[in-house]
Structure 1
Amino acid sequence: MQRRGRGNRFAAAICAAWVWLSVLVAAPANAADPPARDARQILADWGIAFSGAYIGEVLGNAAGGVRRGTIYAGRFDLGADIDLDRMVGWSGATFHANVFQIHGGGLSRDYVGNLMLASGIEALPATRLYEMWIEQSLLDGRLTIKVGQQPSDIEFIDSKYDDIFVNSALGWPGITGVILPSGGPSPPLAVPGIRVKAQLSDRITAYVAMFDGDAAPAGPEDPQIKNPHGLLFRVNDPPWFIGQLKYGFELGAAALPGSITAGAWYHMGTFDDQHLTARGLSQADPAGSGEPANLRRNQGVFAVYEQRLARSPLDPQKGVGLFARASVSPSDRNLVSLYLDGGIQISGFSEIRPNDRIGVAMTYARISDGARQFDREFRQFTGSVAPVRDYEAILEMTYLVELKTGVVVQPLFQYVMHPGGGAVDPSDPAQSRRIRDATVFGVRTTISF
């Protein structure tokens, strides 16, 4: 208990210091003050830049799910970037760190019961260090190496057209977020790792990374409880490797930009069999131990396609953009074996509101054959009429409105089909009914400073 108390005070001190410095830097200088007293300019001269954002959202489950209800959730994101060349003469090097302060409830956790969380900021309340890394640029920027605690979702299996969406699976894909230990390196848990990015040609970029394979120690507790402040800096777990090649091109006479990314990942840890025990019996068989077999290694392959479909007459950098992603992993050791998503983002459609955006997207996560076979055999051995899980799918529609520079409001709608992959509704006394499809409405507000 005493150790946790010290961690809380340390994390709170980090957050408080970041808040104080961010407010200092964000505060406009008095016009009567001499330029030398502009804190932002002084820090910029040293190569230091502070940033901050607050995301606050109200989400409600209007129908279906486990039960109806509404939550408020919020996250402060306070960060610093340091140009180490300006500060200490380390040519081509940059330092970055940021802290999350997370508060509020979780709609998926408390009301919907789905695998792909309704919000990418949904997490247990905490103050935690998220990223802390150094990136070295070489060969005139054609090669960069990043070392330290970092996420994977910003560069890997990503599209620039998915950034508008609120559902967590439309950021870090639903399959990796479900099957990797602790959800993989993505909010709210980053891990130590090394990432190499190489610009092989004008059109081809290669990425490869090695991360620690788990953000938290083994055990039944939630990983966010086991690593409450992001300060474990784990480096001894079986590693997780990921790599991808991205090819950029222009389409048609209008030279509409697009790209195709293909890649794979490999985890060297052990994973539970979804169906069988170590003796080869079904986990549902009363004659067996019920303990899953441990399977060595795990892997996946993925692809991402993104394409500008039309340019805005108001701004050639805006218009209609399309993205689609697909990923496959083995069925015997993963709850989800196939994942697909895709969507459209529209921008630059109004002279009056030039930075507003509209997005429509859908996800699909197929429950693996191993998990489905376990469900069928559970029915057979117990005489239960519980449903066999099959898939979870989500439709999201959202409209991002810029009220002023740095302030956006985003109403959204999500329809969640087969929450939990079609899992049993825990409120059903007969344990024979799936969790009902859920209808989610909400509003997200983002303030950047």
Structure 2
Amino acid sequence: MLGNLELTAEGDLGRLVGWRGARVHVHLLSNHGRAMNDFAGTLQGIDNIEVADGRTKLYEAWIEQGFANDRLSLLVGLSDLNADFYQNDAAGLLIAPAFGIGSEFAATGPNGPSIFPSTALTARLNIAVTPSAYLRAAVVDARAGVLGDDDGVDLTMQEGALLIAEGGSTRGGGKLALGLWQYTRRQDDLYAVDLTGAPIRRIARGAYVLLDQRLSGSDARGLSMFVRAGVSDSATTPFRGGFQAGLLANGIIRGRPDGQLSIGVAHALLSSGMKAQLRDAGDRPGAGETGLELTYQDRVAPFLSVQPDVQYIRRAHGSGTARGTLVFGLRIIAAFARR
């Protein structure tokens, strides 16, 4: 069993202290539970709230200042990168981690980029080019860490920074976007070493493209789709690329307006270094790992939702021929809000 407790607060600093055009956001996070993926044995994971070390922490704390009637905004602080980059609304119901951010990006950096479960110091600029087109870019500390983690917040940037930019259009109720990312400091090669046995250092970089589009109906009762693909340098990460695609249906059962049904497929291509590591461990790696997920969420009380979930993962490694894993789950969500 996994547990995820979150407490968020957001305030308009103009109303609170007279700081016009600014808002503040604080997000506390507490996770606990067993390592469920140890039983499934997948490389990408099966649950987006699973953590290696359960604890309570300050997850986000940032201030955002708007300029020029909010056509321009600057955010500074501890921020979740996936809230602004590599994000598809239509994939939000799915539980497998690969639908949150592509595995080829999520597995980069000294200890992962600024995403769940630890963020990093960030400066993010957002420009509304037109009412339906945007450009945004961020400089992010390469080492994620927050209050509550063993090493706390990194204020030195001794391991460099992650540079990321995304541009896109939201015309027609959807989103089409292209993103690029790169680390400023070289990262260890996953497998290759020099004559002294030390890992060869390489620049980690990548790109992604995504499409999120409503196919029919409205937000309350309609069908949306998403598709996206990403690539990495393939030397410093276990994955050289991958893609995710799926559908989200809202209000498909008459009389159940809060019901949501989603299906998605996620495929990750293994890098040569990762396959070499698996072979050294006695496994027989394939070209990639594929996951298929079907989930349904519905509100059973004003504050309570339930979400049964089923996943089938064709694992990319194994010592025998049986590499498939079938996972059944149930997520219970209690949410309370006060303005």
Name the TM-score, length of structure 2 as normaliser: 0.92
Which has the larger Rg? 1
The amino acid across from 1:240 in the alignment is: L
> Structure 2 residue aligned with 1:228, among 128, 149, 159?
149
Indicate the residue corresponding to 1:120 in structure 2. 48
Query: What is the alpha-carbon distance in structure 2 between the residues aligned to residue 177 and residue 319 of structure 1?
Result: 30
1:408 aligns with 2:329: no
The amino acid across from 1:326 in the alignment is: A
Query: What is the alpha-carbon distance in structure 1 between the residues aligned to residue 13 and residue 151 of structure 2?
Result: 24
1:364 aligns with 2:267: yes
1:270 aligns with 2:198: no
CA contact (8 A) 1:387 1:434 kept: no
Indicate the residue corresponding to 2:102 in structure 1. 173
Deviations along 1:99-153, one digit per CA (max 9) or x if unpaired, are 1111111211x31222222111111210111000001111111111110011101
Query: What is the alpha-carbon distance in structure 2 between the residues aligned to residue 131 and residue 248 of structure 1?
Result: 26
Indicate the residue corresponding to 2:329 in structure 1. 442
Query: What is the alpha-carbon distance in structure 2 between the residues aligned to residue 85 and residue 150 of structure 1?
Result: 21
Indicate the residue corresponding to 1:293 in structure 2. 200
- The offset of 1:239, in angstroms, is 0.4
1:394 aligns with 2:310: no
CA contact (8 A) 1:143 1:198 kept: yes
Of residues 348-357 and 143-152 in structure 1, the stretch that sits farther from structure 2 once superposed is 348-357
Query: What is the alpha-carbon distance in structure 1 between the residues aligned to residue 24 and residue 134 of structure 2?
Result: 23
Query: What is the alpha-carbon distance in structure 1 between the residues aligned to residue 155 and residue 263 of structure 2?
Result: 38
Indicate the residue corresponding to 2:257 in structure 1. 354
Q: Any idea what SS the aligned residue of 2:107 has?
A: helix
Q: Any idea what SS the aligned residue of 2:249 has?
A: strand
Greater helix share, structure number: 1
CA contact (8 A) 2:219 2:250 kept: no
Q: How many residues align?
A: 334
5+ residue gaps, structure 2: none
Indicate the residue corresponding to 2:39 in structure 1. 111
Structure 2 counterparts to residues 226-375 of structure 1, below 5 A: 228=149, 231-236=152-157, 237-250=159-172, 257-279=173-195, 290-295=197-202, 297-311=203-217, 315=218, 317-372=220-275
Indicate the residue corresponding to 2:143 in structure 1. 214
Query: What is the alpha-carbon distance in structure 2 between the residues aligned to residue 230 and residue 319 of structure 1?
Result: 45
- The offset of 1:290, in angstroms, is 4.8
Gap change, CA 1:156 and 1:132, over 3 Å in 2: same
The amino acid across from 1:271 in the alignment is: Q
Gap change, CA 1:75 and 1:372, over 3 Å in 2: closer
Higher relative contact order (CA 8 A, sep 6+): 1
Indicate the residue corresponding to 1:141 in structure 2. 70
CA contact (8 A) 2:238 2:270 kept: yes
Deviations along 1:262-305, one digit per CA (max 9) or x if unpaired, are 010011122222342213xxxxxxxxx6542222x211010010
Query: What is the alpha-carbon distance in structure 2 between the residues aligned to residue 385 and residue 83 of structure 1?
Result: 56
